[in-house]
Amino acid sequence: MLGIKTTYALRPERVRLSKAGDATTPHPNTIGCLGTIVDTQFHGATIRCQVKLDGGEILSASTADLGDASVTINDRVLASWLRHDMVELAEPGAA
């Protein structure tokens, strides 16, 4: 996804979703990927979204349910997060 072979974990609540037409990545340490919302699940005060990124990967994002249908299936979005929110995962067998 990021042009690197290392595997990372990213908590869904650390991913911010913006409508693609309104989207910017203002902070220099912000990573952003364009994609399309392919599924949503409502969890009380939050909505879990599955975003299919333009590279084909599926990314989960969790956002507040503000009751305004701010994201819906088939919306084009920019998924963004701060670089330090990514946690590098060790490869199996690596010391």
Distance CA 59, CA 63 (A): 13
Q: What is the pLDDT of residues 2-60, one digit of tens each?
A: 566 778 899 999 999 988 877 665 677 888 899 999 999 988 888 999 999 999 999 99
Question: Exposed, middle or buried by CB within 10 Å (0-12, 13-18, 19+), for 16?
Answer: middle
Is 80 exceeded by the pLDDT of residue 85?
yes
Among 91, 83, 89, CA closest to 9: 89
> What is the per-residue pLDDT across 53-80, written as a single tens digit (0 to 9) for each?
999 999 999 988 777 667 889 999 999 9
Cα distance between residue 83 and residue 89, in whole Å: 14
Contact present, 41 and 47 (Cβ < 8 Å): yes
